[in-house]
Chain A
Amino acid sequence: MRKSYLERLKEGTLLADGAMGTRLQSKGLSAGECPDRWNLTNSEKVKEVHREYVLAGAESLITNTFGGTRTKLTQCGYPEKQWEINFRGAEIAREIAGDDIYVVGSIGPMGKFLAPFGDMAEADAARDFKEQAKALDAGGADVLQIETMTDLNEIVIAVRAVKESTNLPVIASMTFDKGQKGYRTVMGIDVPTAVAALIKENADVLGSNCGNGIDELIEIMVEMRRYTDFPLLAKPNAGIPVIQKGEVVYTQGPDYFAARVQKLVQAGATVIGGCCGTTPDHIRAMALELNK
């Protein structure tokens, strides 16, 4: 039987799972199709992804609910399925995780800009995130992971919403790009600003995922570590995708990740896994390296 997620992190590195979306694509999800809906229409495939990660050595599974806010589901055409999609997403992951593996509820961006840049009101955003958090909690998640965020306002609203509507610990993870001014999100948020704001909101784990390969994530972890002693999460992409002969190809394979995973730990990451393009083979290769 597992201990609380945060207690577990005190004991050291936790190997999480890899990508969900790109795995589902390899199992037949077409571009533009709503991945989250597969929790209702194609749950066997979602379970297959989870099962492959368990076999590869993952100690936590992330739910297939990245686009599960009402606003985002509206863009896909399924707002009325909001509760079901998230609840089932957590249930499906729990079914495969059993008692020993952690279920991490994924919460992604709403896909709309908040006021004043866009027309999304803060109160609506808070309502969306609360709704999703409650459904993931009810479905059996151990911890919620707010991820791939670039707008500091949006992630702050999400962290507050989760804290107000559940008792679950929160992982707050942003996506940074490397530019002339160092690492910043596309909305212009730098690492120290993000870290300070998220600590103030009582996020339990801070982190970064997506947008980069493992080398950049190592640098981001080093920078985050400069500003906090909180547990950190790192979920890099399998490199930046390129088009080869008309196909999307991710360039960093399992060996590439394995060769750098110790460096990622030394840089300060406690929770390690993969984002877009990573596979069970990436997780297995990192598991072997971490168990050496």
Chain B
Amino acid sequence: MVAFQKIADSIILGNAKLARDLTEQALQDGLSPQEILENGLIAGMNVVGVRFRKNEIYVPEVLISARAMKAALENLSPMLTQTKVKPKGKVILGTVKGDLHDIGKNLVGMMLEGAGFEIVDLGIDVSPEKFASAVEQENANILGMSALLTTTMIGMKTVIDTLAVGNLRDKVQVIVGGAPVTQHYCEEIGADGYAPDSASAVDLVKALLDSK
């Protein structure tokens, strides 16, 4: 029987081949895709996130781990879609205008997708109008915005204001994240939630949907 810890370690080490193989083996052992995802892949990525924040590892290691996670998820995704009746919810994601940094946003998208959510990824440098029209058209539950720079982060408020003006604010719950973003800033601009890393973003989305 493959131990979850081994899968998590393969993600932490960023060994894509090992992560894929172990996931495969765990499925053959009869473990459920959900368990493998949560106790293996996400648990591993959690450690990566904590180590990155503590400056123990740097961007290259995070990218390598993300790649391993993606490789393992490719194995798991078909099974996850089979087992669920419909997506748990729909999440729109993007980095705010002027911000081209998408490592964090991509991680959040990958984790949420793995956890059974449908993702609409608007990409980088997304204008408030583009966010608003996605909210209008996609019928999503959550809008997630990301920014790496303090100078672009203020664009989050513009997006929320744009939603309000278009009478769209009540259509979605807004979550924010990225290096300079804080819980305080989240509250200041009237967002519904903040998560410090991609694993907590999954918990946050689940909690927000449960509370609705």
A residues apposed to B, CB below 8 Å = 22, 31-33, 75, 111, 113, 117-118, 150, 177, 179-181, 184-188, 240-243, 246-248, 276
B155 contacts A31, C-beta separation under 8 Å: yes
Contact of B100 among A75, A177, A186, A242 (CB under 8 A): A75
Q: Which residues of B contact A243 (CB under 8 A)?
A: 150, 153-154, 185, 188
21 A-B contact pairs sorted by A residue (CB < 8 Å): A31-B151, A31-B152, A31-B155, A32-B98, A32-B125, A32-B127, A32-B155, A117-B59, A117-B64, A150-B59, A180-B56, A181-B56, A188-B59, A188-B60, A188-B61, A241-B151, A243-B154, A243-B185, A246-B157, A248-B151, A248-B154
Chain A residues, CB < 8 A from B185: 243
Flag whether B63 is at the interface (Cβ < 8 A). Answer: yes
Q: Report the 8 A-B pairs with minimum CB-CB distance, sorted nearest first.
A: A179-B55, A188-B58, A32-B98, A32-B97, A241-B150, A31-B98, A117-B63, A180-B55
Q: Interface centre among A32, A33, A180, A184, by most B CB within 10 Å?
A: A32
Q: For A31, what are the chain B residues with a Cβ–Cβ distance below 8 Å?
A: 97-98, 151-152, 154-155
Contacts of B64 in A (CB 8 A): 117
B65-111: which residues lie under 8 A (CB-CB) from chain A? 97-100
Measured CB to CB, the nearest residue on chain A to B158 is A31
Closest CB in chain A relative to B172 CB, distance in Å: 22
List the A side residues contacting B56 at CB < 8 Å. 180-181
Q: How far is the CA of A22 from the CA of B153 in the complex (A)?
A: 15
Distance to closest chain A CB from B161 (angstroms): 10
Could you tell me the dominant secondary structure of chain A's interface residues? loop
B54 at the interface (CB under 8 A from A): yes
Is B57 an interface residue, CB under 8 A from the partner?
yes
The A-B contact count (CB < 8 A) is 62
Least CB distance, B96 to chain A, in whole angstroms:
8
Chain B residue at smallest Cβ distance from A277: B151
A181 and B56 alpha carbons, distance in the complex (Å): 8
Contacts of A184 in B (CB 8 A): 55, 58
Instruction: Give the chain A neighbours of B98 by CB distance below 8 A.
Output: 31-33
CA distance A118 to B61 in the complex (A): 12
Do the beta carbons of B57 and A188 come within 8 Å of each other? yes
Q: B100 → chain A, closest Cβ, in Å?
A: 5
A253 to B: closest C-beta gap in Å: 17
CB-defined contacts of B151 to chain A, threshold 8 Å: 22, 31, 241, 248, 276
Distance between Cα atoms of A246 and B100 in the complex (Å): 21
Q: A31-B155, A242-B150, A248-B154 are in contact. Are A113 and B63 (CB under 8 A)?
A: yes
Asked whether, in the complex, the Cβ of A187 is within 8 Å of the Cβ of B58, the reply is yes
CA distance A1 to B8 in the complex (A): 64
User: Which B residues touch A187, using CB under 8 A?
Assistant: 58-60
Contacts of A185 in B (CB 8 A): 58
Measured CB to CB, the nearest residue on chain A to B99 is A32
For residue B60, give the distance in angstroms from its CB to the closest CB of chain A.
5
Return the contact of A117 from the options B55, B60, B124 (Cβ within 8 A): B60
Is B59 a contact partner of A186 (Cβ separation < 8 A)? yes
**18 extra interface residue pairs, beta carbon distance < 8 Å, beyond A31-B152, A243-B188, A248-B150:** A31-B97, A31-B154, A32-B99, A75-B125, A117-B60, A117-B63, A179-B55, A180-B54, A185-B58, A186-B58, A188-B57, A188-B58, A241-B150, A241-B151, A243-B150, A243-B154, A243-B185, A246-B154
